[in-house]
Amino acid sequence: MITPIASPYAVSVLPSTQTDGARIGSSVNYLVHVKNLGFTTDTYTLSSSGGSYAVSFLDATCASPAATTPSVGPGASTDVCVNVAVPSGASNGDVNTTSVTATSVGLPSVSGSGTVKTIAVAVDTLLVDNDGNSPTFSRTTRQLDRRRIAFSTWDLGTDSNIPLNYMKAFKKIVWFTGNSYPGPILPYEVRLAAFLNNGGRLFISGQDVLDQAAGTTAFVHDYLHIDWDGTEAQNDKSTATVSDVAGTLSAGLGTVPLDHSVLGER
């Protein structure tokens, strides 16, 4: 019986693919993990290819330039920061794909690579589709179009991993949950808090955003400023109208009738 052993030189780059975004004229950092899969301590040179956006390599703190990694022992790994600059002339929604390669110094024919995809942001508003397509959010898009508000769209049904830096590249987010429940925003509350802490503005619209215990989280209480007890005492109440609240963004709207037919839109 022959037991295979590791090669003297081998390397991997993880994750294999990352996606994020940045405002035009700014940049975004990606953290890449370079792992020594061989049984010999090695160092790796860093390079990029593909795409048209400028790429630079930094140390794991994203503070100092680093064209090569530190020495990496067998089975160990090191982090590399990849900075991608979005040019001022990029169009909104452009996707730049760059291959990041770590090449063995000990044996230059050995390398590993991963991909970073960078989305250019040139508008102020992001519309997030969290409705599960029930109903579709076409009325929301029509309202933005009617007011001539340029926006980008992210469909969580297509890709649930909306990147934080991409979110931060916008000034405003309109988050539409439709009839999704329970807790449609629960997986995103940490990122939404970071977006708001960064100075962003958030508008959430949906039927069952706070259903069951979803409204009792720290995010709902501390950021949305809603005092929800999680019981049916506050939930699923027949309501024909809503009224403004003094001291909030709704102040001055008066009493507004609700059109429940939009919840059944297809």
pLDDT of res. 169: 98
What average pLDDT does range 106-124 have in this prediction? Answer: 98
What average pLDDT does range 100-126 have in this prediction? Answer: 98
> How many folded domains does the chain comprise?
2
pLDDT of res. 134: 60
Q: Considering the domain boundaries, does residue 3 fall inside one?
A: no
String of b and e for 38-58 (b: at least 16 CB within 10 Å)?
A: beeebbbebebeebebebbbb
Q: Considering the domain boundaries, does residue 2 fall inside one?
A: no
197, 209 Cβ separation under 8 angstroms = no
pTM value is 0.87
Residue 75 burial (C-beta neighbours within 10 Å; 0-12, 13-18, 19+): exposed
* pLDDT confidence tier of residue 202, bands split at 50, 70 and 90: very high
Task: Select, from the ranges 185-199, 206-220, 242-256, the one with the highest average predicted confidence (pLDDT).
Answer: 185-199
Whether the predicted pLDDT of 133 surpasses 50: yes
Whether the predicted pLDDT of 266 surpasses 60: no
Distance separating alpha carbons of residues 120 and 51, to the nearest angstrom: 13
Note whether 88 and 214 are same-domain residues: no
* pLDDT confidence tier of residue 179, bands split at 50, 70 and 90: confident
Distance separating alpha carbons of residues 183 and 135, to the nearest angstrom: 17
Higher pLDDT, residue 122 or 258: 122
Note whether 102 and 138 are same-domain residues: no
Note whether 116 and 168 are same-domain residues: no
Whether the predicted pLDDT of 259 surpasses 90: no
Distance separating alpha carbons of residues 194 and 124, to the nearest angstrom: 17
